[in-house]
Amino acid sequence: MTKTKGRVGQGRDFLAIPGPTVIPDAVLNAMHRPAIDIYTGSLVAVTERCLTSLKTVFQTQGDIYMYAANGHGAWEAALGNVLSAGDEVLVLESGLFAKNWGESGVLQGLNLQFVSSSWQSAVDYEQALQILQSDSKHRIKAVLAVHVDTASGVVNDVQRIRGLLDQADHPALLLIDCIASLGTTRFLMDEWRVDVAIGSSQKGLMMPPGLSFVAANKKAKAAHQKAQLRTHYWDWTFRDGPEHYMKYCGTPPEHLMFGLDCALDMLLTEGLDAAFDRHQLLADSVRSAVSAWGSNGLMQFNIQQPAERANSVTTIQLAEGYSPQTLLDWCEQNASVKLGITIGELNGKGFRIGHMGYVNAPMILGVLGVIETALYALEWEFASSGVAAATKELGVALQQ
């Protein structure tokens, strides 16, 4: 039996967590079809189209590998294809995900060195530079960082990280997780000379979870020749083989591929620049709302520097004495909006608004409206109307 929703909750539920995100009906419909042959015919064309489109999304001429896996799978694929047990890896933290990625490599036998962070700012570029400069024997084989960290809500400057390696004249591979930035935030793999980049289906790419992608340039492919952590399922060499099934190392997740084909077509038809612009406008409106509500101290951005706040997700800390769960429960139970909890070190401290993927003005302004309604209903005193601030921000930005 369907649970009765709150008094203004009947209608379509809205998922405002930072992934998985809203799946367009067109993508859902594309997957709703019988299975087809996996060796010949239209699936081969779907694979080719998706690989070509993914190159555009990653902005690379390198090779793309697709895995029936979530982001954790892609992390393992990336490390295993270019590194060997005992290799040293420099992990640039800025939240939960670079740390977890690095730690996932411990079982693979990698040695980690962390550049730690407060989780309230981008990676510590200065410290990273010092470590790279002092590594005169080039023991560090790879540098790991996340473009957008969905736990802290930060966006790191990947081009600047590339610049640190150049400045230190260091040959380490640069590995970037762009799981939460692909399709939402400009990422230029080749221009920024990122050697390995990672994506996942369930965020800016508007798809269900279950597919992940690793893009590799020539330098990464050369490192792959010597890597000893390769295993059959993730192995690029096997996946470069001539048969179609090799690209998936087994039965292709064909329904996910039908969906991906549709989602990538939607994204590229909109245009990457237009999608980035949309995310910027909507993120600016969310930030205006948070600033307006919070200027009396009720809430604050987790990321302190405005330029380091991501366009995919906003992480908000609530003042002492206010329970994030109360706010989240109110929004879900009364108005069918599911906001994100804060995770990792920020667990219990606030909430997250996901604003990436298939989102437009009514969706995001609707979420902000529900949050403001909750603040009234809970009698939490806020400084001024976030909805008014957000609509003004967006309206002024969209003036002819």
Name the residues that contact ligand PLP, by CB under 6 A. 19, 70-72, 97, 146, 149-150, 177, 179-180, 200, 209
Cα–Cα distance for residue pair 23/26, rounded to 1 Å: 8
**Residue 164 Cβ vs ligand PLP, minimum distance, rounded to whole Å:** 20
- Nearest residue (CB) to ligand PLP, 153 versus 252: 153
φ and ψ at 4, to 5 degrees? -70, 135
**Residue 357 Cβ vs ligand PLP, minimum distance, rounded to whole Å:** 13
- Nearest residue (CB) to ligand PLP, 310 versus 364: 310
- Nearest residue (CB) to ligand PLP, 152 versus 391: 152
User: How many CA atoms does the CB half-sphere of 379 hold within 13 Å?
Assistant: 0
Please identify the residue of the shown chain whose CB is closest to the bound ligand PLP: 71
**Residue 97 Cβ vs ligand PLP, minimum distance, rounded to whole Å:** 4
- Nearest residue (CB) to ligand PLP, 154 versus 266: 154
φ and ψ at 220, to 5 degrees? -65, -40
- Nearest residue (CB) to ligand PLP, 177 versus 308: 177
Integer angstrom CA distances of residue 50 from 205, 259, 282, 372: 12, 10, 27, 40
φ and ψ at 165, to 5 degrees? -60, -40
**Residue 78 Cβ vs ligand PLP, minimum distance, rounded to whole Å:** 11
- Nearest residue (CB) to ligand PLP, 75 versus 358: 75
* 275, 282 Cβ separation under 8 angstroms: no
Say whether 245 sits in a helix, a strand or coil.
helix
Question: Which stretches within the chain are classed as H helix?
Answer: 25-31, 42-58, 71-82, 97-104, 125-134, 158-167, 218-226, 236-239, 254-270, 272-294, 324-335, 361-378, 386-397
**Residue 3 Cβ vs ligand PLP, minimum distance, rounded to whole Å:** 26
Cα–Cα distance for residue pair 345/342, rounded to 1 Å: 8
**Residue 301 Cβ vs ligand PLP, minimum distance, rounded to whole Å:** 18
